[in-house]
Amino acid sequence: MGERSITTINRRRAVGLITAGLAAPFVSRWAGAQPAWPEQTAVPDILKGSGEVRIATWGGALQQAEQKAYFEPFEKLTGIKVRALPGADQAKVKAMVETGNVEWDIVQLSNGSIMNLMKSGDYFERIDYSLIDDGVGKEYRSEYGLEMLVWASVMAYRTDAFNGAAPASWADFWDVGKFPGSRALYGIGSEHPELEFALMAAGVPADKLYPLDVDKALASYEKIRKSVTKWWTTGAQPPQMLTDREVVMTTVWNGRMAALQEQGVPATICWNQGVARRDGWGVPKGAKNKANAMKFVAYSTMAIPQARFALSIPYGPVNEGSFKYIPPERMALLPSAPEIKKQLIQYDYDWWIANQDMAVAKFNKWLLA
């Protein structure tokens, strides 16, 4: 099976509020500069229905994009009302299913979270693949979750920091002599410390990363420790630190960077050796509107809704058919676009599911040493 699982992007409850707040100014700016969007005018009858579907999202910019790309047209075309509820969280799914009080019909999670939960019990419904568009690649389909966006964890740097020189690999990120200045890396609270980057910096080839050698990664981390000003905990921090010139280089979630560039901050992404990750839809076990949920999952992964989403926020579509609706300059920002996809490493969800506890424990211990 090509399913790759990984734990959730670590969008933490309390810090999430700050994240949303910090992101707010970027979002409104982006919304003003939309290219012409494709419109879907009809859906198969099998997707039509009545009643409602309650969707747990991550709120903020992502939910706004989903609103325009998925929720509004879905309501219009199918007659099913969408209620978007920010605060998606695997822990809440666990609690809801355990207490029998399932308030969500769909939840946005990484497939890793879904796999992780399924390890310890029966928390999700099977996805109804009879409804799913053929354009959705095999690698995005798994039994209890359907992935619907591709994002990437990449390097970003200030273009004005190195006299025109551009870092092109993790070896460059680690090279404080050639690229002087403070760094930031994903730190404590992380359920997936950026061990891949540390290993590539230590010379491990991209195709030989997994299974990760955690001790070797930590030894590599040790080399750069003194130059790391901040071990960040929320996605809003890296762009903020680049803007404030607090650091010259950092790891970042790609979606956060587009807005920064819109603002004219001299900073850019280095896609090379980034890690591609994915988010999906899961339907919690016992969801009251299960049928509507399946219809929504199917609709949102069709070519046009996927393209609309990628035009709204720079996360890549999972439907092959979407790319023909997306102009080339936009393609340069999407982690699933062929030109970028080939520079990225695909995150090994299986390895992480199996080794996460050990890797995180070792990382925490090292960070505190």
Partner 1 sequence: MSDSSMTPSMRILGGRREWSRWRRDIPWLTPLLLAAPLLLYMAVFYAIPVVSMLLRSLNDPKWSLDHYAALPSDVVFLKVLWITLSTSFIVTLATLMLAYPVALALSRARSTAPLILIVVLLPFWTSVLVRTYAWMVLLGRHGMINEALMALGIIEQPLRLLNTTLATEIAMVHILLPYMILPIANALRQIDPSLALASSGLGATPWGTFRQVTFPLSMPGVAAGMLLVFVLALGFYITPAMVGGSRDITLSMLIAQEVDQLHWGYAATLSTLLLAVALGLVAIAQLLPGVGNTFRTSK
Residues of the shown chain interacting with partner 1 in the complex, contacts defined by CB under 8 A: 7-8, 10, 12-15, 17-18, 21-22, 90-91, 94, 116-117, 120, 182, 187-191, 225, 228-231, 233-234, 237, 240, 244-246, 356-357, 360-361, 364-365, 367-368
Given the complex with partner 1, which of 13 and 83 has the nearer CB atom?
13
- Name the residue nearer to partner 1 (CB basis): 2 or 25: 25
When the beta carbons of 210 and 366 are compared against partner 1, the nearer one is 366
* Residue among 216 and 225 whose Cβ is closer to partner 1: 225
To which residue do tokens 């080339």 refer?
A: 328
Which helix (H) or strand (E) element contains residue 183? Answer: strand 183-186
Whether a cis peptide bond, with omega within 30° of 0, leads into 211 is yes
Closest contact distance (angstroms) between CB of 166 and partner 1 is 22
- Minimum distance of partner 1 from residue 244's CB (angstroms): 5
DSSP 191-215: SS--HHHHHHHTT--GGG-PSP-HH
Work out how close the CB of 358 gets to partner 1 at its nearest, in angstroms, rounded to a whole number.
12
Distances (CA, A) of 17 to 11, 20, 235, 260: 10, 5, 11, 19
* Contact in structure between 305 and 66 (CB atoms under 8 Å): no
Backbone angles phi, psi at 107, to 5 degrees: -135, 140
What minimum distance in Å lies between the beta carbon of 211 and partner 1? 19
Closest distance between partner 1 and the C-beta of residue 209, in Å? 22
Rounded Cα distance between 35 and 49, Å, is: 31
Write the CB contacts of 243 (distance below 8 Å, at least 6 apart in sequence): 260, 263, 265, 267
For partner 1, the closer CB: 26 or 71: 26
C-beta of 294: minimal distance to partner 1 in Å?
26
Q: Which is nearer to partner 1, 38 or 187 (CB)?
A: 187
The answer to whether 300 touches 80, Cβ cutoff 8 Å, is no
